[in-house]
């Protein structure tokens, strides 16, 4: 793939960093918000914001599929992502989150054309599943990293307590 296209995708994916993993919720909420706004100017502006967030999410997903190297690095060297085994809870959670994304987006576009919305529903759900899968995996990876940090902190605390116990029990 062209280096210019890869750099453009990276730039687009980094744009939504302030909202991070909440981008799908923001986009879906904007789509749903268009249903409740009466002003066509505000509705159009909110729809544009939702589409921009949708494009940023798509760019992030595309970057994840294109880049095989981890995005994070320490001292210039890539750090491998924590490998979290897939379980049934993650699949159920993806289904729930994707359903929320789909319902909010469908609520927003059903006012535009109900018939077209019904035909787009499977496509919307499939894309929502991709976004939800990425978010759920990131949440579980961050949870696993946090557990490791907690274990390391507990081990350090235990070592300090053992050293203090040795200092106290040692005759002077």
pLDDT cut 70: percent of the chain above it = 72
Strand partners, 78: 73
Neighbouring residues of 79: CB distance < 8 A, sequence distance ≥ 6: 70, 72, 73
* Residue-level pLDDT at 48: 83
* Residue-level pLDDT at 15: 60
* Residue-level pLDDT at 82: 58
Tokens of 146: 């946090």
**What's the rounded mean pLDDT across residues 75-101?**
74
* Residue-level pLDDT at 74: 45
Maximum Cα–Cα distance across the chain: 86
Closest CA to 50 of 116, 105, 107: 105
96 CB neighbour count, 10 Å cutoff: 12
**What's the rounded mean pLDDT across residues 1-5?**
70
Has residue 104 got a pLDDT over 90?
no
Has residue 69 got a pLDDT over 70?
no
More confident residue, 72 or 118: 118
Residue with tokens 């116990």: 165
Residue 110, helix vs strand vs coil: coil
| Angstrom distance (rounded) from CA 24 to CA 137 | 14
153: which DSSP letter? Answer: H
pLDDT cut 90: percent of the chain above it = 6
* Residue-level pLDDT at 151: 92
| pLDDT tens by residue, 34-59 | 878 888 888 888 888 887 777 777 76
């Amino acid at each position: 793939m062209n280096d210019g296209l890869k750099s453009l995708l990276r730039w687009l994916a980094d744009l939504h960093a302030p909202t991070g993993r909440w981008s799908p919720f923001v986009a879906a909420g904007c789509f749903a918000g268009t249903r409740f706004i009466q002003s066509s100017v505000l509705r159009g502006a909110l729809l544009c914001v939702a589409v921009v967030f949708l494009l940023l999410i798509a760019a992030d997903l595309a970057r994840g599929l294109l880049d095989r190297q981890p995005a994070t690095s320490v001292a210039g060297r890539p750090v491998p992502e924590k490998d979290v085994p897939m379980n049934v809870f993650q699949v159920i959670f993806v289904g729930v989150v994707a359903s929320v994304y789909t319902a909010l987006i469908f609520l927003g576009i059903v006012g535009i054309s109900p018939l077209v919305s019904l035909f787009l529903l499977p496509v919307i759900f499939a894309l929502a599943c991709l976004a939800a899968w990425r978010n759920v995996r990131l949440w579980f990876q961050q949870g696993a990293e946090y557990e490791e940090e907690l274990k390391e902190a507990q081990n350090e605390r235990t070592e300090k307590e053992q050293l203090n116990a040795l200092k106290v029990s040692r005759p002077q």
